[in-house]
Amino acid sequence: MRVSLKDVAERAGVSIKTVSNVVNNYQHVTPAMREKVQRAIDELGYRPNLTARHLRKGRTGIIALAVPELGNPYFAELAGAVIDAAAEHDYTVLLDHTRGDREQEILVSQGFRARVIDGLILSPLELEADDLRARTDDVPLVLLGEREYDLPYDHIAIDNVAAARAAVRHLLGLGRTRIAYLGARTDTANRPAHLRLQGWREELTASGQPAPDSLVGPVGGWDRADGAVAMARMLDAGMRPDAVFAYNDLVAIGAMRVLHERGLRVPWDVAVVGFDDIVEGRFGAVSLTTVSPDKHAIARLAVESVISRLSGAAAANGEPQGRELTADFRLVERESTLGRR
């Protein structure tokens, strides 16, 4: 039989209202009373009815997270972090997969599940500013990634240019001088690929090293096969870098496979740095040096932004619409640049 607030109140010898105040973490409950009620909760194994709690506030208790590709380990790990962050606020996360398709991103952002969710965290690839300007849904929306819209929605990202510069600076510090970038794209200008390419160029230029286009490898996608193709194409063209900075870890892993097949040793012949710090990069034959975005900070900021907009706390605190929130990153140095020690 399900334990009720009344059962807890009877065990603790207090009113149902007092138990409710403790369960909802209201601040005016004395420490002694809180301890007394908590002891009864623990003894009876009481679990709050979160669905009922949300419904009393006119909410569903669900936040949606829409990402381009759940098969990409970065987004899978990010989703796990968002689920953990949401759970701390008694929210459940509904995952959606847009495949980076503009029409699907429009559908998600325009609230096709507005009656199901209380807030939306969206990582768009193709969505345009005009698509968001046409949005009529009042469900709080938080944007992830590097698309810059200059619209009244909170946006959370890392500094991709600074992160790329840190990766290239690490390679330069190891004495590498022919540093390639694998991950160039010819489409939308504000994507991370372009920002990371910008960081690559800026750091090489600042150090007095050349940044020729011949060391820029275009890719058709972001997976292992795309990195392998880009690396093979560069080598076949007669370009022989002594280091590679890849758009992400998957591209880097594909590139390292081709380098191995061509008899080039990582890191002695070619050092490699990736981006994202996915678990797979830690357990290859050569562990991968990588830029590690703080996924937990990104998740926490995103969830707290949604909760703040829902509760009205953001407006009450005078927080502007459309905040730019930045999560940190760090460079994790492993065998693909340092060798085995």
- Percent of the chain's residues with pLDDT above 70: 90
* 273-304 pLDDT, tens digit each: 999 999 999 999 999 999 999 999 999 999 99
Q: Which pLDDT band holds residue 45 (cuts at 50, 70, 90)?
A: confident
pLDDT of residue 327: 96
Single-letter amino acid, residue 314: A
pLDDT of residue 217: 95
Residue ranges of the chain assigned to CATH 3.40.50.2300: 60-158+295-328, 160-293
pLDDT of residue 49: 59
Fold of the domain built from segment(s) 160-293: Rossmann fold (3.40.50)
Distance (Å, rounded) from C-alpha 230 to C-alpha 221? Answer: 10
For 101, the token pair is 């398709």
Q: Options 3.40.50.2300, 3.90.320.10, 3.60.9.10, 3.65.10.10; which CATH number does 60-158+295-328 get?
A: 3.40.50.2300
* 308-323 pLDDT, tens digit each: 988 776 555 666 778 9
CATH code of domain 1-39: 1.10.260.40
What does R_g of the chain's alpha carbons equal in angstroms?
Answer: 24
- Three-state DSSP string of 101-122: CHHHHHHHHCCCCCCCCCEEEE
CB 7 within 8 A of CB 44: yes
Query: In the chain, how many H helices and how many E strands?
Result: 14, 12
Instruction: Please state the pTM of the whole predicted model.
Output: 0.80
Single-letter amino acid, residue 197: L
pLDDT of residue 48: 67
What is the number of residues in the chain? 341
Distance (Å, rounded) from C-alpha 334 to C-alpha 135? Answer: 45
CA-closest candidate to residue 221, choices 183, 257, 272: 183
Separation of CA 76 from chain center: 9
* 66-111 pLDDT, tens digit each: 999 888 999 999 999 999 999 988 899 999 999 889 999 999 888 7
Other CB atoms closer than 10 Å to residue 129's CB: what's the count?
A: 12
Residue ranges of the chain assigned to CATH 1.10.260.40: 1-39
Distance (Å, rounded) from C-alpha 250 to C-alpha 19? Answer: 51
Separation of CA 251 from chain center: 18
Single-letter amino acid, residue 71: G
CB 47 within 8 A of CB 3: yes
